[in-house]
A and B are shown apart, each in its own frame.
Chain A
């Protein structure tokens, strides 16, 4: 259809009419001038003052209190200054590798992330599939829901001995613990999302005679995706919680065992540095899922 043939609707004409009626000329003239660097800089400073300054102040205050509290002789935890001193190599060089378990934090985190990635990926696929099943079928829900409600309250680490017995190896056991920890919120949220698909969307699908596969791909998954993604987000948080605890017990390379090892060597500073890393990585994982969710659901999933 050519542009000339296109008709303006009242919405269009009214919005463009408003724009034309306003004295826009002076407003438009400003951006056309060379962008003043001072203004950009000022905006940046304003942003920093608004968003970065408050947390920086809070961090500084906490650091100071900590420093003062732990500086007197006989303090059980090291003050920040001593941590910087003792664990300087750990902080500045996360990539060193001297073989065995003597590696930089990057390698430990990477090993943990690999386990999480495998366990979480299995949980995501299984969770969405099972959630769809119990969201869709009343019979499946009656059969499975009570079981899920009981099993989901079992603490992650309680599964570890059982999985060690079943798999006879640390690696798959850790992956299993990640899976079993993160699968429940994914199942339950998916099921709620599927059950809450508006009747209207089902009717649209029926009028269009979508087959079950088309209905699943084009209606069910997108309609439930805000719920599914909130399940996935809870799931990724829980798996990151579980991996540290599981690795403490199974050993090998990984951030959990690193912390345990540091405790056994009385390197309290290393533990604190590792905790900061764990927190930052957990935060990044959460943001990652939120970013993917927003990209896929076009912001309807919220955050």
Chain B
């Protein structure tokens, strides 16, 4: 059997604050194939973000190991680009400069200045933000900021794209629009994506597999649901699709009748 692209083996995380010890994650194991779109869903405080930060290398594991292409993840790096929940663009830089900072850092040696400029513009055009390149983050809407954050992450050509509730702070219409763009980009570039969400529809619409987390403390993976829907997916057509509704119902059951599921499992 082929080795998985990204694998988490028995990942545990405990936080120590003074004498108090909190076990956030216990024995989380997950294999992700290249080009796969995996969502992690769970209630607040179940350690979803901690799990993402561990993959990103921003948080160290207490136990267990994360392997990306058979190499252990020990520190953050541009091969695991993160789109943060609150976009975290640098407000003193323009949209263009925010993306260019990442491009210059990642491809400073590999590309010429002209190529880096073109790559920056290409990344901005991917999210349809080329027109706003001279604007500062304070001058654009929340949805646009999140798109620039996405462009910055995509510009690093990451092996794994990590999305931390990327659309959580947006209104429903903007969110739908951005989800469509992410699907289009995923179809075009074939990125491996791990996305954290608490939106059931978002998880079903975008993912190849949905990882459902049990409640914390000591949260772990409760169930993994494959989403057998053909791509490209159309949100309107799927609204009445049986497979879609089945998946949706399964996630809802897990989230809202969780105890019964854990006993059954």
Contact = CB atoms under 8 A, between A and B. Distances in A.
A261 to B, nearest CB: 47
Contacts of A214: 105
Interface stretch (B11-19, B37-45, B88-96, B194-202): B88-96
Contact of A201 (B75, B77, B88, B122): B88
B58 A208 contact: no
A175 B56 CA distance: 51
A297 B91 CA distance: 9
Contact of B92 (A198, A209, A225): A225
B66 interface: no
Given A6-B131, A222-B92, A297-B92, A207 B125 contact: no
B82 A219 contact: no
Nearest to A209: B77
A275 interface: no
A207 B80 contact: yes
Nearest to A221: B92
Contacts of B170: none
Contacts of B121: 1
Contact of A300 (B77, B91, B131): B91
Contact of A209 (B56, B86, B105, B131): B105
| Interface magnitude class on chain B | 20 to 34
B78 A207 contact: yes
Contacts of B156: 207-208
Nearest to A225: B92
Interface in B140-157: 141, 144, 156
Contacts of B238: none
Given A1-B130, A11-B144, A207 B81 contact: yes
B92 A203 contact: no
Contact of B88 (A9, A200, A209): A200
Interface string B119-140: 0011001001111000010100
Interface residues of A, number: 27
A210 interface: yes
Given A10-B177, A11-B141, A210 B105 contact: yes
Contact of B76 (A6, A7, A206): A206
B106 interface: yes
Given A201-B90, A298-B92, A1 B125 contact: yes
9 closest A-B pairs by beta carbon, nearest first, are A200-B88, A206-B76, A222-B92, A9-B128, A208-B105, A207-B76, A204-B88, A207-B82, A203-B58
30 contacts: A1-B122, A1-B130, A6-B125, A7-B128, A9-B128, A9-B129, A11-B141, A12-B131, A200-B88, A201-B90, A203-B82, A203-B88, A204-B84, A204-B88, A204-B90, A206-B58, A207-B56, A207-B80, A207-B81, A208-B101, A208-B105, A208-B106, A208-B156, A209-B76, A222-B90, A222-B92, A225-B92, A297-B92, A298-B136, A300-B91
